[in-house]
Structure 1
Amino acid sequence: MADDLVVTPTFVVPGSELTERFSRSSGPGGQGVNTADSRVALSFDVARSAAVPPWLRYRILCNLRGRLARGVLTITASEHRSQLQNRTAARERMGRILRDAAAAPPPTRRPTTPSRGARERRIADKKRRGQTKQRRRGGDWD
């Protein structure tokens, strides 16, 4: 359970389905950058995962189609100097991305028409504005 990635209370990715790769990171760290494998690449195979129900898999694949490579979501983290902090950052980022992709779409907007009173007020305002402009045009200013 400690390695599991909790996306939502009902959607948990088992740690056995996550793949971590470590490599040398660019960025802060000085000489340690050349020796420590602090960069983390965290991968999750969304298309073939047994943890994702079919109806949710379809929604996630559709929402993440630009980020997936052959159905696999890969997140890299190299902003911290330590491998442990990068692992935590990658897991948090993956959880956030999966949570957003699994969220239900917003309800469709039902088009509405203005009420009769709103239409009448709009026309009255337009007439009042037109009369104001008409009065301004009437005078000889020279």
Structure 2
Amino acid sequence: MLRITDTIAIEDWELTEQFVRASGPGGQNVNKTSSAVELRFEAERSPNLPDPVKRRLRRLAGRRWTTDGTLIIQCDETRHQARNRDIARDRLIELIRKASEKPKKRIPTRPTLGSKKRRLKAKKVQGEKKALRGKVEGEG
């Protein structure tokens, strides 16, 4: 079981790990060992995740979220299978922690009177500068 927060924990049956051959460092050893990890988390079917967390997780996951609601995390950073497995699990925990944080509601603000006046003055100066770029009379 993976403990994410005080209220969220993921059961082992919700996670599936598959070990595949990795590219990158390792020399000839990389051709015969499966050190890369593909971690699958059935997020849509998970009874431990509240619906708002699932929605935020789907948005944060982006392309890692499949159409059937599975979150796929791949890791082939190191040459060691166990280390890659730990990194993938840490990434999953971090992603779910981010999704569990409720975003702050934005309070819309209005521009101050001074900022409006500065903007209009800058527009007027820019307009006058461009007005002087016209054709000069008498030459041609």
Q: TM-score, normalised by structure 1?
A: 0.70
Aligned match for 1:12, one of 9, 15, 33: 9
Superposed, 1:94-113 pairs within 5 Å as 94-112=92-110
Q: Distance in 2 between matches of 1:109 and 1:54?
A: 25
Cα distance in 1 for residues equivalent to 2:22 and 2:61? 26
Match of 1:59 among 56, 81, 89: 56
**What are the ranges of 5 or more consecutive residues in structure 1 without an aligned counterpart?**
127-142
User: Given the two structures, how large is their TM-score scaled by the length of structure 2?
Assistant: 0.71
Among candidates 33, 50, 72, match of residue 36 of structure 1: 33
Q: Aligned match of 1:82 in 80, 83, 100?
A: 80
Mapped partners of 2:82, 2:36: distance in 1: 10
SS of equivalent residue, structure 1 residue 79: coil
Q: 2:21 aligns with which of 19, 24, 29?
A: 24
In 1, Cα distance between equivalents of 2:104 and 2:64:
21
| Equivalent residue letter for 1:56 | V
Q: Deviations over 1:22-70 (max 9, x none)?
A: 0111111112111111010001011111111234323333443543102
Match of 2:131 in 1: none
Which structure: larger Rg?
1
Counterpart residue identity of residue 50, structure 1: P
CA distance 1:63–1:90, shift in 2 (3 Å): closer
2:64·2:73 contact (CA, 8 Å) conserved in 1?
A: no
- Alpha carbons 1:64, 1:101 under 8 Å: kept: no
Give the Cα separation in 2 of the matches to 1:48 and 1:11: 14
Change (3 A) 1:11 1:93: same
Q: Measure how far apart 1:82 and its partner are.
A: 0.6
The whole-number CA distance in structure 1 between the counterparts of 2:49 and 2:109 is 35
Identity rate, percent: 36
Matched, 1:49 2:31: no
**Mapped partners of 2:33, 2:63: distance in 1:** 31
